[in-house]
Structure 1
Amino acid sequence: MKIIYTYTDEAPALATHSFLPIIEAYAGKTGVDVETRDISLAARVLAHFPDLLTDEQRVPDSLAELGELAKTPAANIIKLPNVSASIPQLKAVIKELQGAGYAVPDYPEDPSTDAERAARSAYDSVKGSAVNPVLREGNSDRRAPASVKQYARNHPHSMGKWSTESASHVSTMSDGDFRHSETSVTVHDAAELRIEHAAPDGTVTVLKPSLPVLAGEIVDAAVLSKSALESFLAEQVADAKAKGVLFSVHLKATMMKVSDPIIFGHAVRQYFADVFAEYGADLASVGADPNDGLASVLTALTKLPADKREAIEAAITAAYGTGPALAMVDSDRGITNLHVPSDIIIDASMPAAIRSSGQMWNADNQQQDAKFVIPDSSYAPLYAETVDFCREHGAFDPATMGTTPNVGLMAQKAEEYGSHDKTFEIAAPGTVRVVDTATGDVLLSHQVETGDIWRACQTKDAPVRNWVELAVSRARATGAPAVFWLDETRGHDAEVLRKVRAQLAELDTDGLTIEILPVDEATRYTLARAKAGQDTISVTGNVLRDYLTDLFPIMELGTSAKMLSIVPLMNGGGLFETGAGGSAPKHVQQLVKENHLRWDSLGEFLALAVSLEFLATSDDNPGAAVLGKALDDATGKLLENGQSPSRRVGELDNRGSHFYLALYWAQALAAQTVDAGLAKVFGPLAERLAADQEKIVGELNGVQGHSVDLGGYYYVDKAKTDEIMRPSPTLNAAIAQF
């Protein structure tokens, strides 16, 4: 078995240039092979267009390769955070690659030729959550390692104080959304389905000709009404103005890559309703698409005549004055909550606000109470209940709060995150229906109007069974209650619950506390236990898995990057994920400006340790087990000594943190008594690194304070980046000679 270490994007990729040589050197001493696979956004784009590239430019489709590996017992994959590209990000990487001489095509907005349709199909397969569904052939086990949790208790991070007078609140739809329209069915036998639109005159348009399903698979369908959404958003704009709170929208346009950009676009239109009412045709004439955000609209304005452009800009300025204040992503640069859809990813933006007294930043760079607009009500109660709880009970205390690990149903594209190819913006009134191709039976159907968003979702039987088994296993291992966040009144959850109850009846649950609660009750139950210092296992579907494994870690640990994320693959392999990358773009910007990378590789350290343990068991390699245990010890010492990256230039950054990890790792290996041979091998290295400590840290910190050139953002120059991320000749020589 080999360890496959993924090369991804932004700050995690930069950190790989520094950390990977250390991994390879140390692992090699125990006979462990470490290989890399490039699954960055740029590499994924290039892999789709080999015929347009030179021999030297072609790259393999590493994601497809790893997807096949993940289905085998030989899989041991360490997966770093990657860009889940929005349309603006995808266009940016295309432009960068073209500028570097790669003849990839433009993104076709309205493809009209076979070549354009092929290019659009290729790009659509790259954008959004293209990586995770391919690799996640297992369910999720995410938890805070004991050493990390203890460190957070010993050194609690700052938490903003809450006021009982806080006006911050969550607003969500009470009708007309996905939650309230969802219908669901479990398919008895394997079948092939199709999705079609039937017009009132009987004309049938096939939206998806083939949707294979397995026996026991759950299929859901739901529709979000355009008119209900528009009314809801207009009401929230007016209400935010009346209440004097910031208007903010919270979606996940990167993962829900079809539905959420459309919803985001409606939010832009409603906030700037007068602008689009008067100038909508002008904006459309230059391709201004609010689905891509206000920034895209402003860029498109440059294509209009000066007088028209100035009139629209004036109207936008007027809208700011008459509407509610907008929450800001970057107050200094004037970037609002409505500028770029990928800037306001809900599972990052909501925990940040909750940690900051329930407030967001306004245009004056001051914190202010906010209206958190989460249109679909499927999971909005998670945040609504948390905001209400903090208003009543105050901020959580990291020094005393309990921990909330998560067992998440995500295998084989489970639930909404796998629904991109089954989500449609409806072009005309009629009925959308899911039909059994063989029998003609209609399984699910919805009346729709023009502009509605309709989606179908799938959840296979085997992942659900595996998920329940994993939850029971974790409950028995920890003694903590396991709470299934499922709502009997929701179509999808009702079908899942039938499987959950049947599976629980087959398992040994004696002595365990197993609860089944809807989202609002599960949130209150878990928050109360966390406040009291008690641990609770959350057992959730795919989207809540994503939301909870940011919300609770950010409150508990200060960041979700410190979570241990294990995916026991269903066919016996292992996938080890390394935490969130939401702040990665700002880290890259600082590196380019100041040659200081504040990305914390703690997630990589944690994932590598369990990957080595997994390999040790699979390959009967005791040396790998010693290596993993020593890495855990080194990580604990790094935390206690406060040698994680600093935010400030001139102080220890990611590269310095890697050095100390290498030092403590070598010292732990030299001191351990399980494997005398390894101790003897690592002893001289430990002594050398300790002796050269001051010199190495001086070399690493001394290069900071100046701008650097990576040769690209999405597709960096590897040689330049190696030089930037490995600036200590002394450390480089020690690792190379070892």
Structure 2
Amino acid sequence: MSKIIYTHTDEAPLLATYSLLPIISGFASKAGVEFETRDISLAGRIIAQFPERLTEAQRIGDALAELGELANEPSANIIKLPNISASVPQLKAAIAELQALGYDIPDLPEDPQTEDEKEVAARYDRVKGSAVNPVLRQGNSDRRAPGAVKAYAKAHPHRMGAWSADSKTSVATMGHDDFRSNEKSFVSPADDALRIEHVAADGTVTVLKDKVAVLEGEVVDATFMSAKALDAFLADAIAQAKQEGVLFSAHLKATMMKVSDPIIFGHIVKAYFAPVFAQYGADLEAAGLSANDGLGGIFAGLEKLENGAEIRAAFDRALADGPELAMVNSDKGITNLHVPSDVIVDASMPAMIRIGGHMWGPDGAEKDTLAVIPDSSYAGVYQAVIDDCKANGALDPTTMGTVPNVGLMAQKAEEYGSHDKTFEIAEAGTVRVVNGAGETVLSHEVEQGDIWRACQTKDAAIRDWVKLAVTRARLSSTPAVFWLDETRAHDANLIAKIERYLPEHDTDGLDIRVLAPAEATTFSLERIRQGLDTISVTGNVLRDYNTDLFPILEVGTSAKMLSIVPLMAGGGLFETGAGGSAPKHVQQLVEENYLRWDSLGEFFALAASFEHLAQTTDNARAQVLADTLDAATGTFLEQDRSPGRKLGTIDNRGSHFYLALYWAQELARQTQDADLAAAFAPLAEKLAADEEKIVEELLAVQGKPADIGGYYRPDAEKTAAVMRPSATLNAAIDAL
């Protein structure tokens, strides 16, 4: 049997798996293809860290480590669904749920002091943030909107809000004393082990990170953000939003930038509520209530304080006196500053641009917004889109071109903030990076509270990235633009490597150029408005941003992207879209037994996975599965079988039924494999004949609460029962 690994993840994608996996497993079994699952959910990752504290029945293996090893094997074929990139509040919530379920796992240490506490904190550090992606992504990213999705978006355009030239919406960014302006970079001349250390004013040396392994040709960067400059910038931004009468909104990525951005988020909370923290900061700190965790955590903890009501009243006064805050959920009073992981820049900024530069205010109405993105590295990209929309109006999904992406991410490239090389500086001094010979290769003068960080990008990953960019440009006959700024230290080193590696490939007749990110944005938008396509070739952070920005504007969502990671060892990683893990969808399922998650990304990833399997294992039937699934997905889009938006329409489970129907019909009518056609003809006939009955069974459960037994660790039997409510469909699929 040929084997595909299907990841067991979190929230809405996990729920959808309980419905979809039995279908695709049944279909694939007829072609000699077997599915295996690996649990890389947040809860699963936590459980795997503490085997010595658990019973034999509770223990599970470290599936993420296992898949990390597999990703370096030529045989790897992994389908990765979206997972929680855990912020601290999410991590704490998952720990509490597991403890309530009887798992003897420790609390997350707030301020680890003892060796045992530091060991526990280190284990949780391996779990939180974007812990999965750096391990599995042992190749660079090829992400684009499939032709069928673009065609559907043009025929059925999504809503785009109107833009006016006098819109007050804009981006506020530091521009100095931030990560962008303080960056330094060098290329390691040989394999080495670097040491990061802090030198205090009195000469005391503290090793922050020892033995950072680097390879010859590896690009190593270091930078910092000034806490004083950040606070001054935030005070000005708050005053600007108040003066201009626009919403104040913060846009960070406290999940991937798991060390730096929660700290920056905390600075924003403290800046907005400066009078409250001036008067009650000591009380909050003594109670363990951190601004880094957001208003939600603080408000929940105030109930335990004697003066909690007094402090809450002070927060309410500050809200009334300050600029209006953008809201995550105005009906429930959840602001932009409630939870650090609620507003993630790569999703929140495109959504704001798509609806005319608006976010929602406390009254639930759309309003112009000051989008605060403190670091200026890529803030200019969003400002360029805003400027274009003010000048030219909203983009038109019926005519616009597309911007696929080739992203540098192999071997943990540019994982800013998702590593153990980010530090909040305890006292003024110098942070320096020292090589094995004792020479300082990078250094910064820092003050207490500054945020210092470093990252690495391996030469082999860069070389493979250049190759993939040329390959994609050649295959699609599309211009490819490297989004790099020659005035930025890291980018200058990458540009030098691009100039070195491009001649290794046939680039005759190709339009390949290098433009700074804001300029590249403008260039791409000019072409988009003409209906032309442009490949964006970017580093890892911009890959994350661009693969949400352009798809959300082009096709309404980033969840419908085809996302392929050709692994450098020869295997394949197939990601099911950039749509996040959709926590609101879970809430709706629990309340109304209705799941709006769209599995279209899974369909695309699955077809690409089958195709890769056919090519690498000589399984001709896997290619038939791929071809027929592609055709079925086309019909699925034409017939508009994605989940509806309200009760009484088909949801995720109904969309899976229709995929099964169309796929069985395609397999029954294909002529490449007569035995497969004969095997699926009865199923195609049965599903078509029972369509009305199956849909009735699926609709009948809607409108009532659903019990899945948990949020981070749902009960498998309960969830399967909820997600497979049609006995008729189940019997037909299980018969395979």
TM-score (norm 2): 0.99
Deviation at 1:315, TM superposition (A): 1.3
Whether 1:430 aligns to 2:423 is no
Deviation of 1:300 after TM superposition, in Å, equals 2.1
Counterparts of 1:393 and 1:562, CA distance in 2? 27
Equivalent in the alignment of 1:165: 166
Q: CA deviation at 1:116?
A: 1.6
Matched residue SS, 1:189: coil
- In structure 2, the residue matched to 1:596 is 594
1:514 corresponds to: 512
- Find out whether 1:407 has 2:406 as its counterpart: yes
Structure 1 position 419, deviation (Å): 4.8
For 1:368, the equivalent position in structure 2 comes to: 367
Within a 5 Å distance, the mapping from 1:595-634 to structure 2 comes to 595-634=593-632
Does residue 445 of structure 2 align to residue 447 of structure 1? yes
Shift of 1:650: 2.0
Equivalent position SS for 2:126: helix
Write out per-residue CA displacement over residues 7-48 of structure 1, whole angstroms, 9 at most, x where no aligned residue.
Answer: 100000000000000111110001011111111000000000
The 3-state SS of whatever aligns with 1:403 is: coil
* Partner amino acid, structure 2, of 1:729: A
Q: Which residue does the alignment assign to 1:541?
A: 539
Q: Which residue matches 1:101?
A: 102
Backbone CA RMSD of aligned residues: 0.8
Deviation per CA, 1:82-109, whole angstroms, max 9, x where unpaired? Answer: 0000000000000000000011100111
CA contact (8 A) 2:185 2:489 kept: yes
**1:117, distance to aligned residue in structure 2 (A):** 1.5
The answer (yes or no) to whether the contact 1:596–1:650 under 8 Å persists in 2 is no
What is the distance in 2 between the residues matched to 1:41 and 1:649? 30
Flag the 1:27–1:107 CA change in 2: closer, same or farther, 3 A. Answer: same
Partner of 1:709: 707
Provide the residue aligned with 1:285 in structure 2.
Answer: 286
1:726 maps to which residue?
724
Q: CA deviation at 1:586?
A: 0.6
Measured in 1, the distance between the counterparts of 2:580 and 2:167 equals: 27
Match of 2:667 in 1: 669
Confirm whether residue 130 of structure 1 aligns to residue 128 of structure 2: no
Report SS of the residue matched to 1:708: coil
* In 2: Cα distance, 1:561 partner to 1:549 partner: 10
For 1:582 and 1:160, the matched residues in 2 are separated by: 23
- Listed as ranges, the matches of 1:207-356 within 5 Å are 207-305=208-306, 308-356=307-355
Structure 2: gaps of 5 or more residues: none
Where do residues 173-212 of structure 1 align in structure 2 (5 Å cutoff)?
Answer: 173-212=174-213
2:475 aligned partner, one-letter code: A
CA distance in 1, matches of 2:639, 2:349: 31
The answer to whether the Cα contact below 8 Å between 2:413 and 2:540 also exists between their aligned partners in 1 is yes
1:587 and 1:416 mapped to 2: Cα distance? 29
Q: Secondary structure at the match of 1:365?
A: coil
CA deviations 1:54-84 (Å, max 9, x no partner) are 0110011100000000001010000000000
Partners of 2:44 and 2:579 in 1: CA distance: 18
Alpha carbons 2:664, 2:681 under 8 Å: kept: yes
Distance 1:586 1:310 in 2: 30
Q: Please say if residues 226 and 451 of structure 1, whose CA atoms lie closer than 8 Å, have aligned partners that are also in contact.
A: yes
Residue 326 of structure 1 aligns with an amino acid whose one-letter code is L
Structure 1: unaligned runs, 5 residues or longer: none
Following the alignment from structure 2 to structure 1, what is the Cα–Cα distance between the partners of residues 203 and 119? 30
The amino acid of 2:80's aligned partner reads: K
- The answer to whether the 8 A contact 2:109-2:117 is kept is yes
For residue 349 of structure 2, give the secondary structure of its aligned residue in structure 1: helix
Report if the CA contact (8 A) 1:129-1:417 is conserved. Answer: no
Q: Which amino acid aligns with 1:34?
A: F
Shift of 1:112: 2.4
> Which amino acid counterpart does residue 536 of structure 2 have in structure 1?
S
Which residue in 2 is equivalent to 1:693? Answer: 691
Q: CA deviation at 1:583?
A: 6.1
Q: Distance in 1 between matches of 2:159 and 2:71?
A: 39
Residue 577 of structure 2: SS of its match in structure 1? coil
Q: Secondary structure at the match of 1:498?
A: helix
TM-score (norm 1): 0.99
Determine the C-alpha separation between the residues in 2 that align with 1:101 and 1:513.
59
Q: Tell me the equivalent position of 1:9.
A: 10
User: Using the alignment, how far apart are the partners of 1:419 and 1:134 within structure 2?
Assistant: 11
CA–CA separation in structure 2 for the residues paired with 1:300 and 1:353: 31
Give, in angstroms, the shift of residue 531 of structure 1: 1.2
Q: Distance in 2 between matches of 1:333 and 1:585?
A: 15
1:416 deviates by: 3.5
Deviates more, 1:442-451 or 1:148-157: 148-157
Give me the whole-angstrom Cα distance separating, in 1, the residues matched to 2:143 and 2:725.
34
Q: Deviations over 1:128-182 (max 9, x none)?
A: 0000000000000000111111111111111111111100000101211000000
Distance in structure 1 (CA, Å) of the matches to 2:70 and 2:678:
36
Q: Distance in 1 between matches of 2:48 and 2:418?
A: 23
Q: Deviations over 1:203-256 (max 9, x none)?
A: 100000110100000000001000000000000000100000000000000000
Q: Deviations over 1:565-584 (max 9, x none)?
A: 00000000000000124361
State the Cα deviation string for residues 579-614 of structure 1 (Å, max 9, x = none): 124361010000000000010000000000000000
Q: Distance in 1 between matches of 2:734 and 2:581?
A: 32
Contact in 2 for aligned 1:85/1:129 (Cα 8 Å)? yes
Instruction: Report the CA distance between 1:417 and its aligned residue.
Output: 3.5
Cα distance between partner residues in 2 of 1:34 and 1:340:
36
Whether the 8 Å CA contact 1:418–1:458 is kept in 2: the answer is no
Aligned residues: 735
Residue 418 of structure 1 and its aligned partner are, at CA, apart by 6.1
Indicate the residue corresponding to 1:386 in structure 2: 385
Letter of the structure 2 residue corresponding to residue 715 of structure 1: R
Runs of at least 4 residues off by over 6 Å: none
Q: Give the whole-Å Cα distance in 2 for the aligned partners of 1:15 and 1:628.
A: 21
1:352 Cα offset (Å): 0.7
CA distance in 2, matches of 1:81, 1:18: 16
* Cross-structure match for 2:157: 156
8 A Cα contact 1:133 1:418, kept in partner: no
| 1:113 to partner: Cα distance | 2.5
Alignment of 1:557-576 (within 5 A): 557-576=555-574
Contact 1:550/1:559, CA 8 A, preserved across alignment: yes
CA distance in 2, matches of 1:40, 1:475: 35
* Contact 2:219–2:456 (CA under 8 A) maintained in structure 1: yes
Counterpart of 1:318 in 2: which secondary structure?
A: helix
Question: Structure 2 CA distance, aligned partners of 1:654 and 1:313?
Answer: 41
SS of 1:704's equivalent in the other structure is coil
Q: For 1:400, give the aligned amino acid.
A: T
Aligned-partner Cα distance in 1 for 2:112–2:523? 50
Q: For the residues of structure 2 that align with 1:112 and 1:514, how far apart are their CA atoms? A: 53
Q: Closer, same or farther in 2 for the Cα pair 1:551/1:343, shift >3 Å?
A: same
Q: 1:690, 1:310 → 2: CA distance?
A: 61
Query: What is residue 121 of structure 1 aligned with on the other side?
Result: 122
Q: Distance in 2 between matches of 1:190 and 1:395?
A: 50
Residue of structure 2 aligned with 1:467, choices 465, 468, 473 = 465
Pair 1:490 & 2:499 matched: no
Checking the alignment, whether the CA contact within 8 Å between 1:419 and 1:457 is kept in structure 2 is no
- State how far apart, in whole Å, the 2-side matches of 1:313 and 1:625 are: 61
| In structure 1, C-alpha distance between the alignment counterparts of 2:417 and 2:374, rounded to whole Å | 20
The Cα offsets for residues 270-312 of structure 1, whole Å up to 9 and x where unpaired, read as 000011111111111111100011111112212211xx22221
Deviation, structure 1 residue 532? 1.1
- For 2:578, the equivalent position in structure 1 comes to 580
Letter in structure 1 aligned against 2:267: H
